């Protein structure tokens, strides 16, 4: 709203990603920006948690993104 370039997503930001194999839903991944960083959770199709917290395998892939988000850039 201020028109200034963001350098990080604000606390409370939430990103939801769904994953499919063909037309079959396979997973839902959620990132929530909290005080101190992002909290990740990945759910299998049956609702079971596959990963949560700050798993290193998530973080290492997201290191290359703006504020750990690889799907899209920070808004201007």
Whole-number pLDDT of residue 36? 86
Structure tokens at 53: 């917290």
Q: φ and ψ at 20, to 5 degrees?
A: -125, 150
Structure tokens at 33: 């920006």
Whole-number pLDDT of residue 2? 66
Hey, what long-range contacts does 44-49 have (CB within 8 A, 24 or more apart)? none
Whole-number pLDDT of residue 33? 92
Whole-number pLDDT of residue 1? 57
Q: What is the mean pLDDT of each run of 10 residues along the chain (76 residues)?
A: 78 92 90 90 89 76 75 70
């Amino acid at each position: 709203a201020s028109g200034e370039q963001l350098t990080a997503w604000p606390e409370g930001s939430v990103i939801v990603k769904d994953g499919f194999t063909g037309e079959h839903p396979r997973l839902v991944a959620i990132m929530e920006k909290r005080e101190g960083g992002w909290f990740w959770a990945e759910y299998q199709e049956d609702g079971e948690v596959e990963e949560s917290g700050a798993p290193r395998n998530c973080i290492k892939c997201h290191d290359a993104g703006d504020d750990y988000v690889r799907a899209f850039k920070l808004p201007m």
